[in-house]
Amino acid sequence: MSQELPRGFEYAGVRCGIKRTGKDDFAMIAARHGAVAAGVYTQNLVFAAPVEWDRRYTPSADVRVVAVNSGNANACTGQRGLDDAHSMARLAADTIGARAEQCLVMSTGIIGEFLPMDRIAEGTRLAAARLGSEQQHFLAAAQAIMTTDSFPKYVQRSFTVGEQEIAVAGMAKGAGMIGPRMATMLAVITTDARLTPAAAQDALTAAVELSFNCISVEGHMSTNDTVLLLASGNAGGEPMTGRRLAEFTECLADTCAQLAKMIPNDGEGATHLIEIEVRGTASNEDARRIAKTIAESALVKTAICGADPNWGRIVSAAGYAGPKFDPQQVDLLLNGFRLYERGAPLRFDAAAVSEAIKSQRDTRIELQVGDGTGHCRFWTSDLTHEYIRINADYHT
């Protein structure tokens, strides 16, 4: 993994006392000379104050800073929550001489509690003093946005578009209350590519559709989900269009997919990351609906937890997903073992398949339902006793 960070950005992560655990809980990502910004947000009708603020100001040609707090979601907090989101933006912007509307904000954590604005103010002050462009600063920010995550989630890479070297670095958080469109997850992706606001928004929307909208832990759509793309343009050249923009979008989608997979892999209490690939549908959306239904089936998830090669649960979930297909054309592979073919079960060594599930964290389900061109890859986690314990004990 490349350690080069995109030019034009500074990062910081600090502790300001919002989290009950006493861990770092405030992050800033600054572009002092401005960055193009785009955003994709939860589709839940109940959305948090930071989502409303960021929707208002993206896409944008001139964002200077992103401020993120963890430990408190600032969701379902009414007008005071909106006022607090505005204040948070103003406080962070003031530290680098910017205006409130040049700051985007994100919050994650407990719903229904007001932000402790004295601590937010302290967080902006501390973070501004520690902003830097080195690896340690980036990692500190990635750690500060975590809640129930067991590890910081980040991706760094560089690639060539035409003859131009472009760097991308993304950080994300999320482990529970995860459902597509989108999950309880936040992500900030920085790049030094030069983009127009419209191109950045189109590229991010396309990338999210193939990544963050293809993950689920339990299918619960959250109130705060936000993915931001910031492009400093420090790589130089003209704004990307045409083929160059298409190449950038493909690389961005791959970066987002790497980040997205880390979320169900860190699903609360998870012992398996499950990749579901559906092929042969009439459309990509049909494939996504089938894959999502399988991913959110409690019976499929518990079967994988118990290393049970229960093909019936997978096939039946596909059948009630909604899209039409011929059941007599269905083939199913589990970790490379063919369990079902042309609509009928095959003889297989159940002990060997069970061991293949039990002995590794990654589980792969491949389902062919016809000869159409539709295709989707979708990621989820298994459902364990530990997931129930974590969420039963989590304070709301």
By DSSP bridging, strand 153-161 and strand 103-110 are unpaired
Q: Which pair of tokens denotes residue 349?
A: 């060594």
* 217/383 Cα distance (integer angstroms): 8
Kind and range of the H or E run holding 60: strand 60-72
Reduced to 3 states (helix: H, G, I; strand: E, B; else coil), residue 66 is strand
Q: Residue 6: beta bridge partners?
A: none
Calculated CA dihedral for residues 9, 73, 288, 259, nearest 10 degrees: 30
* Cis status, amide bond into 345, omega within 30 of 0: no
Q: How many CB atoms lie within 10 A of CB 294?
A: 25
Query: Rounded to the nearest 5 degrees, what angle is found at the Cα of 391, between the Cα atoms of 387 and 396?
Result: 165
Q: Which pair of tokens denotes residue 153?
A: 């989630």
- Candidate list 95, 148, 184, 384, residue with the active-site label: 184
Q: Which pair of tokens denotes residue 200?
A: 């950045």
Contact 181, 220 (CB under 8 A): no
Question: Rounded to 5 degrees, what are φ and ψ at 242?
Answer: 55, -130
Kind and range of the H or E run holding 168: strand 164-173
* 320/331 Cα distance (integer angstroms): 16
Cα→Cα distances 22→16, 18, 71, 115, 145, Å? 8, 8, 10, 16, 13
Question: Catalytic: 184?
Answer: yes
Q: What residues act catalytically?
A: 184
